[in-house]
Amino acid sequence: MRLILIVAFALFGQQAKPDYNGTWVVNSDKSAKAIRDGLPATDRMTITVTEKDVTIVNQETGLVCGFGKVPIENDQVMPGALCSAKWDGDQLVTTMTRKSDPNRSKAPNSSNPTLKEYTPFTETRLSRAGTELKVTSTIYLASGNEVKRAPVVYDKAR
């Protein structure tokens, strides 16, 4: 009897993952701060989640993040960018890491202080509630500081 309960819990106790697949458009009202910080007011994102990876196409740039131990290289996004994905409960978490390159540790002509420091990785969390998708990103700097970007809310395209 105890074995039956354990197996039943294992099979039915796991929550189904939310479906992030589809095309999402930015909700300008709920993303006002992110738009003021530079997000295009007409931002559009298409997400495809499979068992082995996540593909996120934002405007024209595609990012592929692999589930598991081996991140996927994404040179079209930025040279030496590696991306991995994992589930954290019902949140989809992607982590983009730059390969170590001492020549890229500074961006001397940039007025953006964040870009002047080497950025080891950016963690992005996607959470879904109904037809809304909330995206939060944190940039972890080599200095140990964190830069949290304003959350962006997307609506499922009809």
What is the model's pLDDT at position 125? Answer: 95
What is the model's pLDDT at position 31? Answer: 95
What is the model's pLDDT at position 142? Answer: 75
Residues 57/127, Cβ–Cβ less than 8 Å: no
Residues 69/76, Cβ–Cβ less than 8 Å: no
Q: What percent of the chain has pLDDT over 70?
A: 77
Backbone angles phi, psi at 32, to 5 degrees: -55, -45
Highest mean pLDDT among 44-58, 70-84, 97-111: 44-58
pLDDT in tens, 83-135: 999 999 999 999 988 765 554 444 333 343 433 344 578 899 999 998 999 99
Residue showing tokens 């819990």: 9
What is the model's pLDDT at position 90? Answer: 95
Kindly tell me the burial class for residue 93, based on how many C-beta atoms sit within 10 Å of its own C-beta (0-12, 13-18, 19 or more). middle
Q: What is the DSSP string of 44-95?
A: EEEEEE-SSEEEEEETTEEEEEEESSSPEE-TTTSTTEEEEEEEETTEEEEE
DSSP code at position 103: G
pLDDT in tens, 63-72: 899 998 888 8
What predicted TM-score, i.e. pTM, was given to this entire model? 0.76
DSSP element (H, E) containing 101: none
What is the model's pLDDT at position 99? Answer: 67
Q: How high does pLDDT run on average in the chain?
A: 79
What is the model's pLDDT at position 100? Answer: 58
Kindly tell me the burial class for residue 86, based on how many C-beta atoms sit within 10 Å of its own C-beta (0-12, 13-18, 19 or more). middle
Helix (H, G, I), strand (E, B) or coil at 31: coil
| Residue in 121, 114, 64 with CA at minimum distance from that of residue 95 | 121
Q: What percent of the chain has pLDDT over 90?
A: 47
Q: Which domains does the chain have, with CATH numbers?
A: 17-156 (2.40.128.20)
